[in-house]
Amino acid sequence: MLDTICWDSNLIRRYDLAGPRYTSYPTAAQFGSQVGTFDLLHALRDSRKALRPLSLYVHIPFCANICYYCACNKVITKDRGRAHAYLQRLEQEIQLIGCHLDPTQRVEQLHFGGGTPTFLSHDELRQLMAKLRQHLNLLDDDSGDYGIEIDPREADWSTMGLLRELGFNRVSIGLQDLDPAVQRAVNRLQSLEETRAVVEAARTLQFRSINIDLIYGLPKQTPENFARTVQEVIHLQPDRLSVFNYAHLPERFMPQRRINSQDLPTPEQKLAMLQGTIEQLTAAGYRYVGMDHFALPDEELAIAQEEATLQRNFQGYTTHGHCDLIGLGVSAISQIGDLYCQNSSDLNHYQNTLADGQLATSRGLICNADDRLRRAVIQQLICHFHLPFAEIEQTFNIDFRGYFAPQWPQLQAMAADGLIELDDTHIRVLPAGRLLVRSVCMVFDAYLDQHNRQRFSRVI
Ligand code: SF4
């Protein structure tokens, strides 16, 4: 049985540093323009030779309305026709990528994200899935993990029925907060009934897993009204819950400038919201998986953590870390072996490049030996809270303590503070450090300095 979280406000205040969420190491902040299409083609060839299974991410950037807290790559438009030109180019990309893969490489995981994937019409969704099936080896027997992000304002029972028919078996539902004052302050008016209808449809249609996203730290939120949202969500009984901290960075994200900073809760109120949420979810039987994520004990993420097979990639915690991840669409990121690469984040540039018959890779990074080692360390800590040095020493042929000698004093300080247990054989993240695991991982991040720390949100 995994340890529970131990709440220690003092430690949280001291270690609440800005840092990455480590959906990759090195993080996307390190990507550069030295990596391009040639590197992607090279990596695809290696993937094909090794016949590695695949995880696909498909980005649909359009949203009909703007949420003021948004930090995603999206295009706000009421013009549904804009999807047409985009889909033409996306289909071209699918075809180009498919040419470089082996038809037997199984797509074990598929995720449609955005933006709002259900911005697309039913016909467009049908056509896009048909194109994916035509050029890639999607599974027909419901054995893959095929998920899609749902905005309940853009989906009804018939949409859910269509998605199930097309092969999706997981949904991730954006909810964020149910309080009308909060919803008005972030321009996202979404009733509990709309969300409940989507959840009930997903259950009835036998989707395997339902995730709900919440955000704390939004304007007009208080510990009391957020607790009411959490309680309503518990009644909906999602299999997983993501509870994200809102990072107010209006200088980086334009929509956030429409949030009145005087409406934001204080750091003390945010801490109270997080503490209260953890208590409510734990009492309702949810388990803390790590880094903003909770799951029921019989959900596969919680089981994978128990069995030490959990991994982390650009899609967050996953049981498909052994797959090559291929990102399709504007701004989508791929991770194939040692290569990370990202498509252009500019919609016009993405579309024009594909119109010229070229893939739209614009930047990336090829991991060196040190990156691979640190990636394994961070992955192990963030997924399992336990790092036995022997495995790392054997795999990377190093002496752990010698290699990380400069980091040792920092680790010792964390051990003295009760965040971790440290000796010559292992690091274990203690219950008081589990919420702060990102801070422990940051010790091993070779790229983190004061300058690029400012790009990230705080730990909590
Ligand atoms: S938060 Fe999601 S739905 Fe809202 S504008 Fe951003 S991408 Fe669109």
Dump pLDDT digits (tens) for 19-56. Answer: 898 989 999 999 999 999 999 999 999 999 999 999 99
Residue 97 in tokens: 């990528």
| 306-333 pLDDT, tens digit each | 888 898 888 888 888 889 999 999 999 9
Q: Tell which one of 59, 67, 77, 213 to mutate to probe ligand 1, the residue whose CB is within 8 A of the most ligand atoms.
A: 67
Given the CA of residue 151, which atom of ligand 1 is nearest to it?
3
| 88-140 pLDDT, tens digit each | 999 999 999 999 999 999 999 999 999 999 999 999 999 999 999 999 999 99
CA of 255 to the centre of ligand 1 (A): 10
Given the CA of residue 71, which atom of ligand 1 is nearest to it?
6
Which residue has 């980091």 as its token pair? 407
* Angle 18-3-389 from CA coordinates, rounded to 5°: 70
pLDDT reported for residue 422: 97
Residue 225 in tokens: 């009204």
Residue 453 has pLDDT above 70, yes or no: no
CA of 217 to the centre of ligand 1 (A): 17
Residue 378 in tokens: 């961070």
CA of 282 to the centre of ligand 1 (A): 29
* Angle 381-303-335 from CA coordinates, rounded to 5°: 55
The one-letter code for the residue type at 147 is G
Q: How confident is the model at residue 2 (pLDDT cuts 50, 70, 90)?
A: very low
Residue 451 has pLDDT above 60, yes or no: no
Given the CA of residue 65, which atom of ligand 1 is nearest to it?
5
Given the CA of residue 114, which atom of ligand 1 is nearest to it?
7
pLDDT reported for residue 14: 87
| 153-183 pLDDT, tens digit each | 989 999 999 999 999 999 999 999 999 999 9
CA of 72 to the centre of ligand 1 (A): 7
CA-CA distance, 139 to 161, in Å (whole number)?
18
pLDDT reported for residue 306: 87
pLDDT reported for residue 349: 97
Of 44, 21, 48, 29, nearest in space to 339 by CA: 44
CA of 112 to the centre of ligand 1 (A): 14
Cα distances (angstroms) measured from residue 139 to each of 103, 112, 143, 167, 328:
12, 16, 7, 8, 18
Percent of the chain, pLDDT > 90? 85
If you take atom 6 of ligand 1, which residue's CA is the nearest one?
70
pLDDT reported for residue 98: 97
Residues with CB under 6 A from ligand 1: 63, 66-67, 70, 72, 74, 114-116, 151
pLDDT reported for residue 275: 92
